[in-house]
A and B are shown apart, each in its own frame.
Chain A
């Protein structure tokens, strides 16, 4: 299974990645990053098939996918 890595310092909380995940594995965290912006996070124990849709949508290139 693949893994998603989100650079919270780059994320601006635009939420563009969330609706495109086929497994509904992304959601907004209540955590604000060092710039005071809300960020996204990958839900615990949710699947990732490595489709890369989230990384493709991200305007900040904050998402990287690993095997």
Chain B
């Protein structure tokens, strides 16, 4: 299939990510099979040769990230993808990418962990993505889509951000987003030629040579380099924050969630409408840089925040750091592949508003309940 613009396609999140990368001019993909992102690599295996690009199933995720490193050093737009255990393997490579100032797009379709875990959705790789993951003082730019359409849009933008700042950009998805199917339109302009990078390795004909490295052994040089990196990160924090606010005007309780949890929070808000409960949502779209300003602004009027995550509580720490003691912060989470329901979130909100249990509410039933667990299989 061609990602022809102005046409709606029904695609899986994983497939949309692959198509959007091709639209953005990515012609080099390196990966390794791991559930729940196999559809991305399988799709690339078919599409990359069609557009004259390189597709390679590497011998491991470590090999894949270093193949991507090579492609990036050579000046190309490159992408790789994996999940939990594979992303852990890639951490050294990601640190090297940041330290060598190379652009690269990495998609993490999160699954339950730690260890081998399971293949259900999770958001427990937040710390790994946002706080470092690899060694040294660096940051990944981290984008968190919440729909297949947003996956398509953000993957495209990820390549621009990676090039603009010469930094790895990570897309943090999860098993649900990766494997669900939604209609998507590829609205952005197809990039057919590669952007020329002055610093890239192309052969030093007619110019001074370029070196791609992250090693600064001469005393003092590494500190100077790190100061420069940090200045770059301040610029990213200044310019690239993205977030969405839903129903925050006059809301008593502000939910803070990203990705799949944000979708479920939106449903909780919908179910609560007309009941008198004033609930809003702040959905970070960039997890790094984190939307601190809107949180501080909302903290002035809101009664409390409730952070909802599929983890033991990771993003909640960043919310606490941003808000400090301006406003109480609560947390609701499910771990190990568990997915919260809008009913559970509303119960938590009621509990926040009236911990003594004096507040009761008729929460209208959704006609079809999904039951206790959500199962995800790779085999269609």
| Direct A–B touching, Cβ under 8 Å | no
Residues of chain A touching chain B, judged by Cβ–Cβ distance below 8 Å, are none
